Structure 1
Amino acid sequence: MILKTLSLLNYKNFDSQFFEFDSKINCFVGANGVGKTNVLDAIYHLSFGKSYFNPVASQNIKHNEDFFVVDGLYNKDERDEKIIVSLKKGQKKVIKRNGKIYERFSDHIGFLPLVIISPADRDLIIEGSDIRRKFIDGVISQSDKVYLDYLIKYNKTLSQRNSLLKYFALNNTFNQDSLDIYDFQLVEFGQLIFEKRKAFLETFIPIFKSRYEAISNNSETVNLNYKSHLFNSDLKSLLKENINKDKTLQYTSVGIHKDDLSFEIETYPIKKFGSQGQQKSFLIALKLAQFDFIKQQSGVNPILLLDDIFDKLDEQRVAQIIKLVDAENFGQLFISDTHTDRTEAAIKSVHQTYQIFKL
């Protein structure tokens, strides 16, 4: 799968911009603030229908404009695929594939597999459990439509249950029968999500450990530890046991929406006990394992985005990552950096075609 061309209109800092890409390596270089990361985010937008960096869709529209359009032409399975993502202020975002509008954004997820490695990934270590759940969900959803469908249904049901708990509190009332309707659905959807997360991590963790060993030269052991209420009890029992707590809190306190993934080095939390270099290696291993897993499941080489990679890693590690692209098992690569010479020196070390865009 190759992204052949990209066209931007009123997207972030770009008024109008067109790119024609190399099938292997593409580099965006220039000073900070010229829009290198914005180009990568536009490519991410085409795969996921949203920004990697800014969840507020309207804030991706260029200042003083009313809309944006991101237009990408891909070659996948020996046929051209045109994807357009557009948004007009006050209206819903639209995703089109070959001129046809998707009725549900979720139908598009996984069609253009993609992995991004960015300084923003550090949030996976330092922020709350919701970031790590989104990581798990994002990896599984790219190759499992049933999982994504159940996740959407679970989150919708959870929101409805929470609204009902708030209603009970505001009106000083309670109706177990009404709550049971949502509990039944949460149990059905939640159990499947839990089982799929468990199965995913059984496959994913060995891939991740192997990647970390390669990056760190076997210097230490790392692990991912899945934490869920459902290891201790079934969701139906948990909801019943915690009903009084939920009534007081006015939201659902147990379930797979509270799951977490602990990042460990030598059995200790990497957040507290890992050096900066170890944390960077951990995150890169995590993302490269994501690449491997998605490729394994889909049979397609995901597009790989490396955002501002040189500023956060020493040149030896960067060279190691770029050399991976030299192997046939990697596909198209997009890199952003502030120094043209540094970027060119790194990519010349591999035997692939490349193109450099100076912004």
Structure 2
Amino acid sequence: MHLKSLSLINFKNISEAEFEFSADVNCFLGLNGEGKTNILDGIHYLSLTKSYFNHRDNQNIKFEEPFFVVQGVFQKDEDELNIYCGMKAGEKKTFKKNKKNYTKLADHVGLLPVVMISPNDTSLILDGSEVRRKFIDSIISQFDKEYLQKLMAYNKVLQQRNALLKQFAERGAFQEDMLEVMDMQIGPLGDWVHTRRQEFLDEFIPVFNQFYGDLSNGKEEVSLVYQSQLTEGSLESLLVANRMKDRSANYTTQGIHKDDLVFTIKDHPLKKFGSQGQQKSYLIALKLATHAYTKEKKGFAPILLLDDIFDKLDDTRIDYLLGMIKEGKLGQTFITDTSTEKVPSILKRLDINFNAFEIENGAIKNQLA
């Protein structure tokens, strides 16, 4: 599977741009703030129906313009897929495959998988548990439609349960029987999602450990641990046991929406004790494991987006990544870099087929290769 062409209109800082791509490697080169990352984000949009960086769709419309359009042509086996995303200010976005509208955006997720490695990935280490839950969910959802459906159903009932608890507090009347009905709905959903997350991580963690070991030459011991309240029992039993606690808090204190991933190095929190280099290796290992795991499940390589990471990596990690590209393990790859010479010279030396575009003010200034 690969992206053959991309068209962007009024997307972020890009007025209009069209690209024809190599099935191997494509580079967007130029100074910071010129629009390189926005091109990668357009590709991400066509894969996952949303921006990697900004989940409020209307904020991706170019300033003072009334709409945006992102359109791409993908080759998948013998099929050519034309994917269209458009949005007018103040309206919902439209998503189409071969000119036919999707009724549910969830139906598109997983068709054209993509993995992004970006400086923003530090949020996985530095931010709260919600970011890490989304990381798990985004991987599983690319190959398991039922997981996405169950997760969406859980979140809907959770929202209703929290609204009910808040309503009880406002009215000063606690109706336990109403919570019991809701707990019977949310309990099996939470148990199912928890089991699926655990099954996924049982398979994923060894893949992650292998990549981290390769990146660090086996110098450090790291761990990735799934933390969940549901290891103590079924969700329904937890909700019953904590009903008075929920009543006092006015929200649901137990459930899969509290799950987390714990990152450690030498049995200490990576956030506090990991060096910058160790944290980079950890994040790259997470993303390469995501790519490899998704490739195994889907039967083809996801598109890989490498956003401005080469000037932040040492030569050992750069050589490791480019070695995987040369061996064909990573499939179609898109790279951004501030130097117009560094990455192209390395790719030429390694005899890797590539296209290169110099980007300035949201437009192609030169096609360098």
1:115 equivalent in structure 2 = 115
5-14 vs 173-182, which deviates more? 173-182
2:67 equivalent in structure 1 = 67
Given that 2:161 and 2:252 are in contact with CA atoms closer than 8 Å, whether structure 1 keeps it comes out as yes
Trace 1:329-344 onto structure 2 (pairs within 5 A). Answer: 329-344=329-344
Q: Are residue 22 (structure 1) and residue 22 (structure 2) matched?
A: yes
Unpaired runs of at least 5, structure 2: 360-369
What is the CA deviation profile of residues 72-122 of structure 1, one whole-angstrom value per residue up to 9, with x for unaligned ones? 000002110010111111111111011111111111110001100000000
Q: Which amino acid aligns with 1:256?
A: I
Distance 1:137 1:328 in 2: 27
1:345 equivalent in structure 2 = 345
Q: Which amino acid aligns with 2:274?
A: G
Distance 2:336 2:63 in 1: 23
What is the CA deviation profile of residues 301-357 of structure 1, one whole-angstrom value per residue up to 9, with x for unaligned ones? 100000001232123312220210111332100000000111112222433210100
306-315 vs 140-149, which deviates more? 306-315
What is the CA deviation profile of residues 139-189 of structure 1, one whole-angstrom value per residue up to 9, with x for unaligned ones? 111011111110110011101111111111111112222222221121111
Given that 1:183 and 1:236 are in contact with CA atoms closer than 8 Å, whether structure 2 keeps it comes out as yes
Partner SS for 2:165: helix
1:279 equivalent in structure 2 = 279
1:216 equivalent in structure 2 = 216
Question: Runs (4+) of structure 1 moved beyond 6 Å?
Answer: none
Distance 2:94 2:349 in 1: 41
Partner SS for 2:226: strand
Q: 1:350 and 1:181, CA in 2 relative to 1: closer, same or farther beyond 3 A?
A: farther
Report the CA distance between 1:8 and its aligned residue. 0.3
2:130 equivalent in structure 1 = 130
Partner SS for 2:341: helix
Given that 2:188 and 2:235 are in contact with CA atoms closer than 8 Å, whether structure 1 keeps it comes out as no
Partner SS for 2:173: coil
Q: Which amino acid aligns with 2:2?
A: I
Given that 1:228 and 1:260 are in contact with CA atoms closer than 8 Å, whether structure 2 keeps it comes out as yes
Q: Which amino acid aligns with 2:52?
A: Y
Distance 1:183 1:85 in 2: 38
Report the CA distance between 1:257 and its aligned residue. 0.5
Q: Which amino acid aligns with 1:204?
A: F
Distance 1:10 1:311 in 2: 29
Given that 2:22 and 2:355 are in contact with CA atoms closer than 8 Å, whether structure 1 keeps it comes out as yes
2:100 equivalent in structure 1 = 100
Given that 2:212 and 2:285 are in contact with CA atoms closer than 8 Å, whether structure 1 keeps it comes out as yes
2:241 equivalent in structure 1 = 241
Trace 1:1-359 onto structure 2 (pairs within 5 A). Answer: 1-359=1-359
Partner SS for 1:340: coil
Distance 1:173 1:16 in 2: 58
Q: Which amino acid aligns with 1:21?
A: F
Distance 2:345 2:78 in 1: 32
Given that 1:113 and 1:300 are in contact with CA atoms closer than 8 Å, whether structure 2 keeps it comes out as no
Unpaired runs of at least 5, structure 1: none
TM-score with structure 2 length normalisation?
Answer: 0.96
169-178 vs 298-307, which deviates more? 169-178
Given that 2:85 and 2:93 are in contact with CA atoms closer than 8 Å, whether structure 1 keeps it comes out as yes
Given that 2:95 and 2:105 are in contact with CA atoms closer than 8 Å, whether structure 1 keeps it comes out as yes
Q: Which amino acid aligns with 1:201?
A: L
Distance 1:222 1:26 in 2: 33
Report the CA distance between 1:296 and its aligned residue. 0.8
Distance 2:18 2:145 in 1: 32
Q: Which amino acid aligns with 2:107?
A: D
